[in-house]
């Protein structure tokens, strides 16, 4: 990675200033919407990224990237101004759509989601980019079987760069409203709790005891005040845990005493996983720094898929980067040892021949059958929470199926706004 500009990547938030582009005055919001040149409906990914940009999760980004930033991120893993950044954040449109809406550079357009006004997008530039080159550099492969590569190839012909201003903030629906802490609020919560060292745990899963001890081990290693469980909520694939299981299952560890109330907090971010492995680990570290975390734990196969990346690729990538102002807590596996009769760490247990790794596939199979796993691998209260979520939110299943995708309780709702 080459860095053209000398900047301080340790600043927290990233870039030194927490972005906040949310219009709270309703009359001003309506005026901005009325003056927009066109109304453009956007898909879920773009809506979620508009929200994340506006609330500062992606600081220092203030909008969708222009050509110079995209090219620098793809080739150098920095923005054009020199700040480390690893994943392109882009808005795409087809030539036909651009012509249909009559969009030109310099226009302000209104993004709508689910037929409601969402955000103003100031079109600063329109450009094309080599999607194969983007895929090869960001994902390390051009294999369309990789979900991130497929997402890249599915982008339309043109990219539009420019600032985003959220004019109609989302209302988060239960149970997600309990876990929505934008950066300004999470930082305030940390201060209120007296937490100066917080280690982030990235997750898309319901926690088994291996995950629990991963968090506890990182808490000890970082000498942290608390663990922030940061659940990824976004695009779902069939077979994934439903979102409600993830956030409520993680929160159950605190609610039932497996973590003290003053050392654990569950939150969520809106993000559609790219499965970019080590590069996505860098992105996750920056986002959690923006939330106020000082440390981030990275285990095996972080943000990976298939066998595209080395098992501990997320451990290696930070060695070639400048100090990001958030320390990596690098951890190997926790597993069950029948000789020790408990959960042990790969780094110090000597009974390697007897070790029994946690198999997500096996645990999912047990849960699918409604059988309560032994408490050594799955806390009973977490299992009960998962089963409750299956009945209440998952149409009888804790895993995503067609019924859930079509009829699920939305994570957030964009309130009606008359324009």
Could you give the residue numbers annotated as active site? 204-205
Residue 44: phi and psi, rounded to 5, are -55, -45
| Alpha carbon distances (Å) from 198 to 149, 189, 190, 202 | 33, 11, 8, 13
Residue 114 CA neighbour count, 13 Å, CB half: 14
- Rounded Cα distance, 315 and 329, in Å: 9
Q: Which residues of 70-92 are buried (b: 16+ CB within 10 A; e: fewer)?
A: bbbbbebbbbbebbbbbbbbbbb
What are the structure tokens assigned to 122, written together? 């100031």
Task: Say how far apart CA 229 and CA 263 lie, in whole Å.
Answer: 11
Please count the other Cβ atoms lying within 10 Å of the Cβ belonging to residue 262: 12
* 394/344 Cα distance (integer angstroms): 33
Alpha-carbon gap, residue 135 to 157, rounded angstroms = 15
For 152-176, the three-class secondary structure string (H helix, E strand, C coil) is HHHCCCEEEEEEEEECCCCEECCCH
- 152 C-beta neighbours (distance < 10 Å), count: 24
113-to-34, 48, 255, 402, 415 alpha-carbon distances in Å: 16, 10, 35, 22, 10
Q: How many other CB atoms are there within 10 angstroms of residue 234's CB atom?
A: 18
Answer for the pair 368, 240: CB distance below 8 angstroms, yes or no: no
Q: What is the CA radius of gyration of the chain?
A: 22
Cβ-based neighbours of 19, under 8 Å, separated by 6 or more = 13, 53, 54, 55, 56, 58, 59, 60, 61, 62
Expressed in angstroms, the distance from the first to the final Cα of the chain is: 47
């Amino acid at each position: 990675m080459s860095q053209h500009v000398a900047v301080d990547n340790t600043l927290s938030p990233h870039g030194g200033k927490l972005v906040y582009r949310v219009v709270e005055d309703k009359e001003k919001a309506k005026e901005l919407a009325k003056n927009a040149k066109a109304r453009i409906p956007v898909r879920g990914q773009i809506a979620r990224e508009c929200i994340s940009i506006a609330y500062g999760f992606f600081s220092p980004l203030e909008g969708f990237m222009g050509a110079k930033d995209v090219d620098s991120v793809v080739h150098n893993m920095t923005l054009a101004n020199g700040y480390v950044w690893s994943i392109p954040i882009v808005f795409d449109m087809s030539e036909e759509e651009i012509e249909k809406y009559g969009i030109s550079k310099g226009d302000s357009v209104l993004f709508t989601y689910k037929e409601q006004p969402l955000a103003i997008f100031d079109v600063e530039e329109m450009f094309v980019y080599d999607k194969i080159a983007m895929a090869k550099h960001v994902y390390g492969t051009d294999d369309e079987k990789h979900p991130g590569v497929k997402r890249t190839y599915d982008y339309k012909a043109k990219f539009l760069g420019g600032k985003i201003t959220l004019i109609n903030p989302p209302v988060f629906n239960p149970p997600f409203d309990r876990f929505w802490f934008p950066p300004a609020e999470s930082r305030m919560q940390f201060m209120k709790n007296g937490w100066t060292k917080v280690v982030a745990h990235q997750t898309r899963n319901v926690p088994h005891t291996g995950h629990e001890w991963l968090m506890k081990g990182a808490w000890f290693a970082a000498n942290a005040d608390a663990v922030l469980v940061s659940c990824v909520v976004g695009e779902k694939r069939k077979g994934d845990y439903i979102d409600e299981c993830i956030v409520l299952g993680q929160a159950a560890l605190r609610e039932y005493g497996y973590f003290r109330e003053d050392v654990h907090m569950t939150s969520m971010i809106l993000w559609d996983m790219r499965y970019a492995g080590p590069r996505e680990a860098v992105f996750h570290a920056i986002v959690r720094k923006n939330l106020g975390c000082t440390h981030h734990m990275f285990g095996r196969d972080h943000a990976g898929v298939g066998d595209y990346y080395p098992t501990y690729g997320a451990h290696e990538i930070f060695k070639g980067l400048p100090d990001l102002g958030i320390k990596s807590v690098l951890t190997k596996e926790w597993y069950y040892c029948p000789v020790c009769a408990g959960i042990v760490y790969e780094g110090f247990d000597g009974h390697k021949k007897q070790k029994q790794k946690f198999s997500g596939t096996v645990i999912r199979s047990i849960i699918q059958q409604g059988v309560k796993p032994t408490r050594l691998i799955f806390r009973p209260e977490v299992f009960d929470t998962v089963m409750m979520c299956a009945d209440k939110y998952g149409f009888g299943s804790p895993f995503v199926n067609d019924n859930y995708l079509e009829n699920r309780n939305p994570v957030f709702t964009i309130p009606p706004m008359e324009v």
